[in-house]
Structure 1
């Protein structure tokens, strides 16, 4: 079964998309697909993978959907759908509905939390329990989000079709944002005992790859995939054996994934030279500058500052401002960074990373007492245990 799992995970959204397009009932289609996947997991190890596994799954899922329909005692509903069901056991359609399915999961009627949960369930193939564990929320909460999302999609009158061309950019932006949220939560968990939730970051990369395959000319899709690859490449060196956080400047760069870095650099280089610039390409370019530096001292901070200036023009935001402050300090010195942080502070206060950056700049400037207090503040504010431990350790080091 372990050998079949990647294949089934890749095929699941294609099969679900085909059934939703054909029947228009998300819940019933999802149940039928789960039956088909279970049948495949049971039969294929013994009988072998069929020549057309996607068609096999669509056929079995369609039969399960018909069987469920036949149990329905509402004569009127049966009569209304009979014409559509009569063709369900024909040849499996060749069209790929995964992009349409992903756009449906990220429908604008849904909240970001619901978009994330529904995407992981329908497109990523994760169970409700797996999503709950990954997001560190109760299983009942995830189930409620998914159920409400389906109801909201139905209430909005959403149809299983690609949106018109004028709506596609906004809908695609929502999809990319959801994948970005999933990756970030996996790479740096916002709370809990673990720094990484690899199952989330790996799933985000997998989905971004599929999206890039379907939209190879979309620069922002390439930029997001590049950003994920270039960031995740550092993960092996980001923690010690005991789980303690290792900051970027102190990481063993020989442990970084060079193949992922090379792929990410190629992707972002092509996107920057051939497509319009959005929020993800500059972030990927910044990650590339970090990853290509042989040592932390070799980092081209002037180039990074220029890229943050470009990012601030196309996608301004609190975290962009905060990261740019660090680049200012590295180029122009800690006092300049502290001045930039003070100017931006009213819009940034409350997040533990603000205090962490202030502590780092104060330590660079030689103000050990101020740095200690700021590190202690940041440690109190974060909900991540690995980050709290790291910040507390930095506070202790500056006090000696």
Structure 2
């Protein structure tokens, strides 16, 4: 038995009752306390043997179980409320099931109505069905909370004024709505992949798991849609790295430093199969297929082929020239060609991304490699000020503190 396994065995024996009692007292519900404690111990059983036991196992378990309980209660309290709100907004009872045989996926298709502009329908659906808060949605769109709140309110008002029906789309309607549905699932997954708030686990597995479940259903429903296939592959290849992305100390682990032995080989194989399937079709790839292909390169072999990644981003920029895509391409250029060319591309994006923490974090890493400690420290400070995710904060803080003194 390893030290980590021994620590887990002792913790289960010594800490289970205490953790359950603490959570039951805080949340007033024994079932919630026991379920959250079970999830925390399951997470420990997954992480500790690979990463080592934390210095304070009991404290780690209590903190993790508390976060699990909060996530569970938030999810359960918001789901029914959001579904009722959707019916009130559309002001009608839904028609029969139609082509979609899953309650949540069906509701997402209903809310992604083409009468609304794409950004509005995605934001409204995330709020009413996806379980995301207005601040979380605002951070996904890189806008202020008040701006996003007003956008959602206007979308509801438009639905009411235009008397848009709360109607389940038929099979013939699905292709016209699938782009919005994919955007919703992508943003739900992203919020789970690296939570934007400070009051939850840094990785919200309930969101990533639900997004993958819905993506699988969507792929079954539309097996010939290349972007649906690409979305599923992208989620699988990203989720395959989940166990290696946060250390036992609760710090984000960058791709280059992750233990690839911890990656999920089955998910990687499935994702690669889907990517190859789309390449073999001969149809020009869309946005999600290109993102999936980039992640296939990251998970192929012992190191990332950055030349391939840059080439794929060159294709992606032609489809989606957004600042975030260009930022990710600049990161790849910095890996392929060195920090100076990457930094030059990033600096060109400054006006659009000043409020985006990942922009400052990426700049800080390149400035660090260039030996510009003072500038790197300034960039880390900007990134930290814009970050709430606890694992990212821990990583950025350590990186900043390890810079050489001026």
TM range (shorter): 0.5 to 0.7
Decide whether the 8 Å contact of 1:265 with 1:288 is kept in 2. yes
Residue 189 of structure 2 is aligned with which of 183, 186, 192? Answer: 183
Separation in 2 of the partners of 1:97 and 1:146? Answer: 27
Separation in 2 of the partners of 1:95 and 1:394? Answer: 51
Separation in 2 of the partners of 1:96 and 1:337? Answer: 45
Larger Rg: 1
The Cα shift of 1:276 comes to: 3.7
| Change in CA separation of 1:196 and 1:396 when aligned onto 2, cut-off 3 Å | same
The aligned residue for residue 394 of structure 2 is 389
Matched, 1:256 2:266: no
The Cα shift of 1:307 comes to: 0.4
Decide whether the 8 Å contact of 2:112 with 2:177 is kept in 1. yes
**1:1-400 equivalent positions in 2, closer than 5 A:** 96-98=100-102, 101-108=107-114, 109=116, 110-120=120-130, 153=159, 155-159=161-165, 160-162=167-169, 168-193=174-199, 194-274=201-281, 275-294=283-302, 298-399=303-404
The aligned residue for residue 54 of structure 1 is none
Separation in 2 of the partners of 1:145 and 1:163? Answer: 28
Separation in 2 of the partners of 1:369 and 1:301? Answer: 28
1:174-205 Cα deviation digits (max 9, x unpaired): 11000001000010111214311111111111
| Change in CA separation of 1:116 and 1:93 when aligned onto 2, cut-off 3 Å | closer
| Change in CA separation of 1:148 and 1:365 when aligned onto 2, cut-off 3 Å | closer
Separation in 1 of the partners of 2:89 and 2:126? Answer: 20
The alignment yields a C-alpha RMSD, in angstroms, of 3.8
Runs of at least 5 residues in structure 1 that lack an aligned partner in the other structure: 3-8, 31-83, 85-91, 121-129
The Cα shift of 1:100 comes to: 5.4
The aligned residue for residue 44 of structure 1 is none
Separation in 2 of the partners of 1:374 and 1:272? Answer: 39
Deviation larger for 335-344 or 227-236: 335-344
The Cα shift of 1:245 comes to: 1.1
The Cα shift of 1:269 comes to: 1.7
1:212-235 Cα deviation digits (max 9, x unpaired): 000000000000111111111111
The Cα shift of 1:106 comes to: 1.6
Runs of at least 5 residues in structure 2 that lack an aligned partner in the other structure: 1-30, 36-75, 139-145
1:336-392 Cα deviation digits (max 9, x unpaired): 111111222222222111111111111122222322222122112223232122111
TM-score norm. by structure 2 comes to: 0.66
Question: SS state of the match for residue 192, structure 1?
Answer: coil
Question: SS state of the match for residue 383, structure 1?
Answer: coil
